[in-house]
């Protein structure tokens, strides 16, 4: 994605894809429910599950976590996460003192490789502008009340740099397997607008 991709209207390609989808549905060639299911798989299962695996490994393996925080791009490649197209991946660790959140104020640059499709709200003008100006208020709207003694840092992605948040590990998960830990990781927790599920959730 280049810095010129800061347009609000859908791209010509997006419009063509929507037109083809509409025509196929009208002619009975595809089921609209199937399209929704496929989008859901990419948005909520496939992409975010890759990132969740990265987070779970970082929670379980201190050496990997150190490499991930030092050089996210290389650590992801070492883990077999492909698809990086020249952009650097920087991993931001949430701690009791600091809460990180990501945005792309100019367009919608997003770490597709690890998080899958971006949520609609991530691309919206209100989120892109307000999260920088009033991050605590926006996070509160997502259900996150960040205490005043905890610093909130907002990181702005661009064509050269993508960010992903390494959320805090939930309490009560000591000794858990990576697969079990990964089930707690939500897409929003890797954006910084949410937190992982509690240990009691699974």
> According to the model, what pLDDT value does residue 47 have?
65
Per-residue pLDDT for 3 more than 50? no
* Residues in a beta bridge with 103: 156
Q: Is 82 annotated as a binding residue?
A: no
Q: What's the confidence (pLDDT) of residue 145?
A: 95
200 annotated as a binding-site residue: no
Catalytic site includes residue 107: yes
pLDDT band at residue 7 under the 50/70/90 scheme = very low
Spot the catalytic one: 60, 82, 104, 147: 104
First to last CA, the chain: 37
pLDDT at 2: 40
CATH 3.40.50.720 for domain 12-201, yes or no, is no
3-state DSSP: the chain helix, strand, coil percent, rounded to 5? Answer: 50, 10, 40
Spatial distance between the Cα atoms of 133 and 30, rounded to a whole number of angstroms: 43
| Alpha carbon distance 175, 40 (integer Å) | 31
Q: Per the annotation, does 109 bind a ligand? A: yes
- Known active-site residue 108: yes
Closest to 127 in 3D by CA, of 154, 161, 92: 154
Residue 192's pLDDT band (cuts 50, 70, 90): very high
- Assess whether 104 carries a catalytic annotation: yes
Mean pLDDT (the chain) is 87
pTM of the model: 0.78
Query: What pLDDT does 75 receive?
Result: 95
**Residue 61, SS3 per DSSP:** coil
Q: Is 108 annotated as a binding residue?
A: yes
Which comes out higher in pLDDT, residue 15 or 139? Answer: 139
pLDDT at 5 over 70: no
Q: Which of 60, 82, 109, 129 is catalytic?
A: 109
Q: How far apart are CA 132 and CA 137, in angstroms?
A: 10
**pLDDT tens, 160-184?**
899 999 999 999 999 999 999 999 9
Q: Choosing from 107, 157, 177, 200, which is the catalytic residue?
A: 107
């Amino acid at each position: 994605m280049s810095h010129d991709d800061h347009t609000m209207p859908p791209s010509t390609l997006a419009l063509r894809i929507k037109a083809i989808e509409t025509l196929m549905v009208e002619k009975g060639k595809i089921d609209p429910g199937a399209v929704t299911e496929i989008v859901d798989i990419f948005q909520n299962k496939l992409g975010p599950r890759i990132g969740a695996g990265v987070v779970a490994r970082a929670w379980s393996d201190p050496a990997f976590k150190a490499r991930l925080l030092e050089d996210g791009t290389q650590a992801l490649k070492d883990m077999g996460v492909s698809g990086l197209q020249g952009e650097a991946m920087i991993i931001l660790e949430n701690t009791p003192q600091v809460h990180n959140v990501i945005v792309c104020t100019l367009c919608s640059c997003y770490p597709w490789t690890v998080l899958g499709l971006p949520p609609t709200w991530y691309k919206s003008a209100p989120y892109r502008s307000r999260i920088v100006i009033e991050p605590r208020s926006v996070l509160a709207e997502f259900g996150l009340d960040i205490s005043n003694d905890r610093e909130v840092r907002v990181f702005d992605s661009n064509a050269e740099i993508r960010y992903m948040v390494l959320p805090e590990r939930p309490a009560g998960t000591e000794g858990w397997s990576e697969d079990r830990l990964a089930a707690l990781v939500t897409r929003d927790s890797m954006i910084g607008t949410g937190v992982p599920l509690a240990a009691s959730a699974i």
